[in-house]
Chains A and B, each alone.
Chain A
C-alpha cells in the first residue's frame, strides 16, 4: 500500500477563540464520522484569548484532510492544521504510582527509573509518584518494566505538539484581525500535491 492508502497517526492543531461549547462543536465532527479521538488537549495558547487544541487520531490522510477543512469552517475556529508524527515535536506526560517499600528494597528499580528519565514527584511513606515525559513507546516501556514490581496506578496525559516548520500564530493573528484578508504568500495546495497545510 502506498503512504496515502494506510491509516496512520495524525496530529491536528487547532487555534480557536476561547468559547464555551466549541469543544463540543469540534468533537462532533469526529464522532459524526465514527472516528475515535486518541488524545485531546486544549489549553490557552501563547496569545491571550486564543485557545489551542491538539488532537491525535489514527486515520487515512484523505479523511484527515476533509476533517480539517470541516473544523476550520466552524465560525470560532481560526486555523486548523494536520501533520504526521514526523512533522511535529511532541511529548506526553505520564505519572506512575509505586509502593515506596519496593523502591527502598530494590535498588535496581531506582536505577531503572533514573535511566528512563523518570523523576520523583512525591515521596511518601507508603507510595512514591514518578513522572516521565516523552513518547508513547518510552512510556509503555516503563510500564512494562514496573509491572512486576507492583505498579499501583498510572495515568497518561494528552499529547501536546509543536509543528516543526511553523512561525507561530502571532503574525497570522494580525492577518485575521485586519478587516480584509491580506495578500498571503500563495500556498499552492492544489497544484503542489505534496503540500499538507491548507491556508488562505
Chain B
C-alpha cells in the first residue's frame, strides 16, 4: 500500500496509476499542502469519504456538526495559517449550508476550496434526492466555481481551484463533483500544480512611474496619513509595511481586518478606523493632505459619507485588485500591484522623515478619547462589569500573544478596539459580512491553523447560540479553544441603535440564553460563570491554564454602548464620543 501511494504523486512522465476520481482528488489535496479538512459526509459525497478512510495518516478530517460550522472553521484555519482552507460537504442541503460562509469568505478575501458532492451526472436537472443547482446558487459568492462530471477533469480543476483561491486577491472556490466522477476509474498521470490561467491575471507588473509619482506626493506632504487593511496580511507584507511606515514616519491607522499587521503598541500605530474606530484617525482623515491606503478597500463602515470623506486629500491607493481602485474613493495615484512588491519600491523612493507635530495631534485626540470613553470602559467603577475591562485583563494575561477570534456585535467592536496584537494573523473576525455565529467554528479552525498559539474566542450571548452545536466538534476533536461569552442579555449592537435612533423601542432584542456553563458541561467542556469583578482575573487565569477547551461566561452590564461612533450616513468628522 505504501509504495502504491508514494508513486501516486510523483510518477515518471509516462507512468499512470489507475485510480478513482476520489483518490485523485485526495492526492491532489495532499500535493497542494492540505493537512486538515473540515467536513460533514452525506450520500452524494460518500465515495470521497470512502477513499478518505485510507488517508488517516496524511489528511486530518475534522467532523463538524453543521456545514456552516465547517466552512467557518475553514476560514479560521486560513486566517491563522495563511494556507487555503479545505471544506467538504455533501449535495443539496449540505452545499446550501455553505453559502453563508462562502459569502463571508468572498467579501473578506479568504482563500478556501470547498468540495461538494453532487448527484450522478445523468440525474442533474431532474430534482433528484438532495440535488440542488449549487453552481448557480454559489456563483455570486465565489471567486470561481466549477462542476466536475468526469473524473479525468479532477487533477486539472483542483489545480486551478487552488491557484485561483490563493493568488491575487484570495477568495473562496467551490468545486462540485458528481458522484459518478467520484467513483469513475481513470489513468491518473500524477498531479501538476497550476501556475498560469490565460484569462486570469492575479497581479500586474508594477508600473514604476506610479511609484515615482506616489513617492513625490509623499515627500512633499505636510500631513500624510496611512490607512492599512487586510491586504498587508494577505500579501505577507508585514515586514515591508513596517519598513515603509518607519522610514516615512507617517502615522498609520488600521481597519478591523488589518489589525495586527503592525503591533498594536508600535509608536506610529495611531488606532482603528471606522464606525467604531478611534477618535483621532476618523477626524484627522478629513485634515490630512496625502492619504495612503494600503490593502484596504474603503468599505462604507470606514468611510462614512463618501462625499465628505478625505475630499481635501490626495489619495494614493495601493491594492492588488484593480476593481477596488477608484471604486469608492477617487485616487490621485493608483499603485496597482502586490503590496509585497510595491511597498519596497515605494520605501526606496521616499525620504526618511518625521512629523512630530502631526503625530502629536493624534495623541491629543487619543487623550480626549481616553478621558471621554476609554478610561471608563477599561476601568469602570460601575457595579457591573464592562466588556472592555474583560479584554483589558485578557491582554494582561496573554500579553498580546494570543489569537483573538470574535463574533459579531458590540463585543466585536470592543475586542477589536482594545485587544493587544503583537503579531500578525492574530485577529480573526467576520468583517465585511458580519456573520453572527462565526467565532466558535472559526476558533476551532484557527487553532488547527496555528496549533502553537493560544486561541481565545470572544463571543456574545446572541452569536454563541447561532452555532453552539460546534461545541460537539470541540468535544470530539479535543481541540484547545478558550471561549469567553460576554453576556449582556441583549443583542447588543441592535439594542444600541434602537436606543440611539429608535427612541429605545427595544424590538425583539432582549434574548434569553441557556445556562452556557451547563451546556458546555453537557459537551464535556469545563466552564465557569463570573458575575463579580473580584472573580474575573482568577477565572481568566483558570481558563487559560486549564489544558484543553474551557468556556467562561462573564455577565456584563446590560445596556452599555460602544463609543466612539460614526452614525450611519454621517461624515467621519461627525464621530460621536457619546
Are A75 and B196 neighbours in the complex by a CB distance under 8 Å?
A: no
Q: How far is the CB of A89 from chain B (nearest CB, A)?
A: 26
Whether the Cβ atoms of B198 and A73 lie closer than 8 Å is no
- Known A-B contacts A75-B164, A78-B199; the reply to A28 vs B143 at CB < 8 A is no
A-B CB contact pairs (8 Å), 22 listed: A16-B199, A17-B198, A21-B135, A21-B136, A24-B136, A66-B326, A69-B327, A72-B322, A72-B323, A75-B200, A76-B144, A77-B199, A179-B195, A181-B201, A181-B204, A181-B205, A183-B205, A186-B207, A190-B331, A190-B333, A190-B334, A200-B204
| A-B CB proximity, top 4 nearest | A69-B323, A176-B198, A78-B199, A75-B144
Give every chain B residue within 8 A of A190 (Cβ-Cβ).
210, 326, 331, 333-334
User: Is residue B197 within 8 Å, beta carbon to beta carbon, of the partner chain?
Assistant: yes
Least CB distance from A14 to B in Å reads 11
- Cβ of A70 to closest chain B Cβ, rounded Å: 5
Compute how far the CA of A179 lies from the CA of B164 in the bound complex, rounded to whole angstroms.
Answer: 15
Instruction: Give the docked Cα–Cα distance between A69 and B328 (Å).
Output: 13
Is the CB–CB distance between B322 and A176 below 8 Å?
no
Q: State in angstroms the CA–CA spacing of A66 and B334 once bound together.
A: 15
In the complex, what's the smallest C-beta–C-beta distance from B215 to chain A, in angstroms?
A: 15
Map CB proximity to B onto A77-93 as digits: 1 under 8 Å, 0 otherwise. Answer: 11000000000000000
* B-side contacts of A73, CB under 8 Å: 321-323
Chain B residues with CB under 8 Å of A180's CB are 205
A residues with a Cβ closer than 8 A to B are 16-17, 21, 24-25, 28, 32, 65-66, 69-70, 72-73, 75-78, 173, 176-177, 179-181, 183, 186, 190, 198, 200
User: Would you call B140 an interface residue if the criterion is a C-beta within 8 Å of the partner chain's C-beta atoms?
Assistant: yes
Please name the residue on chain A nearest to B333 by beta carbon.
A190
- CB of B376 within 8 A of chain A? no
Q: Which residues of A lie under 8 Å from residue B204 when comparing CB positions?
A: 181, 200
- Say yes or no: is B477 at the interface (Cβ < 8 Å to chain A): no
Q: Which B residues are within 8 Å of any A CB, using their own CB?
A: 135-136, 139-140, 143-145, 164, 195-201, 204-205, 207, 209-210, 321-323, 326-327, 331, 333-334
**A21-B135, A72-B323, A181-B201 given. 12 additional CB < 8 A pairs?**
A21-B139, A21-B145, A28-B140, A66-B323, A66-B326, A70-B323, A75-B144, A76-B200, A176-B198, A186-B207, A190-B210, A200-B201
A76 near B201 (CB under 8 angstroms)? no
Given contacts A16-B199, A176-B199, A177-B198, contact A69 B333 (CB under 8 A): no
User: Once the chains bind, are A32 and B323 in contact (CB under 8 Å)?
Assistant: no
Known contacts: A75-B144, A183-B205. The answer to whether A25 contacts B198 by CB under 8 A is no
Inter-chain contact A69/B140, CB cutoff 8 Å: no
Bound-complex Cα distance A159 to B331 (A): 34
Nearest A residue to B169 via CB reads: A73
- Kindly state the separation between the CA atoms of A151 and B9 in the bound complex, as whole angstroms: 68
Contact A75 B323 (CB under 8 A): no
Partner of B196, one of A17, A21, A173, A179: A179
User: Bound state CA distance, A179 and B145, in angstroms?
Assistant: 23
| Bound Cα distance from A66 to B327, whole angstroms | 6
Residues from chain A with a CB closer than 8 A to the CB of B139 are 21, 24-25, 28
Most buried by A among B195, B210, B321, B323: B323
Q: What distance in Å separates the Cβ of B192 from its nearest Cβ neighbour in chain A?
A: 14
Contact present for B331 and A76 (CB under 8 Å): no
Report if A76-B323 is in contact (Cβ < 8 Å); known contacts: A21-B139, A25-B139: no
**Identity of the chain B residue whose Cβ is nearest the Cβ of A183 in the assembled complex:** B205
Q: How far is the CB of A115 from chain B (nearest CB, A)?
A: 46
In the complex, chain A residues whose CB is within 8 Å of the CB of B323 = 66, 69-70, 72-73
**C-alpha gap A198/B145 in the complex (Å):** 26
Q: With CB as the reference atom, state the residue of chain B lying closest to A50.
A: B199
Which of B140, B195, B334 has the largest count of A CB atoms less than 10 A from its CB? B140
Least CB distance from A122 to B in Å reads: 36
Cα-based distance from A183 to B207 in the complex (angstroms): 10
Report A-chain residues with C-beta under 8 Å of the C-beta of B198.
17, 78, 173, 176-177
Interface-central residue, A24, A179, A190, A200, by most chain B CB under 10 Å: A190
Chain B minimum-CB-distance residue to A17: B199
For the complex formed, measure the closest distance between the CB of B103 and the CB atoms of chain A, giving whole angstroms: 13
Contacts A28-B140, A190-B333; A75 near B199 (Cβ below 8 A)? yes
Q: Please, which residues of chain A bring their CB within 8 A of the CB of B333?
A: 190
A75 and B331 form a contact (CB under 8 A): no
Given contacts A21-B135, A70-B323, A176-B199, contact A32 B205 (CB under 8 A): no
CB atoms of A75 and B140 under 8 A apart: no
What distance in Å separates the Cβ of B138 from its nearest Cβ neighbour in chain A?
A: 11
The listed residue with most B CB atoms (<10 A of its CB), out of A75, A177, A180, A181, is A75
**How far, in whole Å, are A167 and B44 apart by their CA atoms in the complex?**
49
Given the complex of chains A and B, what is the CA–CA distance between A68 and B196 in angstroms? Answer: 23
Task: Please name all residues of chain B whose beta carbon is closer than 8 Å to the beta carbon of A176 when the two chains form the complex.
Answer: 198-199, 201
Q: Give the distance in Å from the alpha carbon of A65 to the alpha carbon of B322 in the complex.
A: 11
| A contact residues around B209 at 8 Å (CB) | 186
Across the interface, which residues of B come within 8 angstroms of A25, CB to CB? 139
Write the chain A residue with the least CB distance to B327: A66
Minimum CB distance partner of A173 in chain B: B198
Which partner residue on chain A sits nearest B163 by CB separation?
A75
In the complex, the answer to whether B143 meets A75 with C-beta atoms within 8 Å is yes
CB-based contact B327/A76 at 8 Å: no
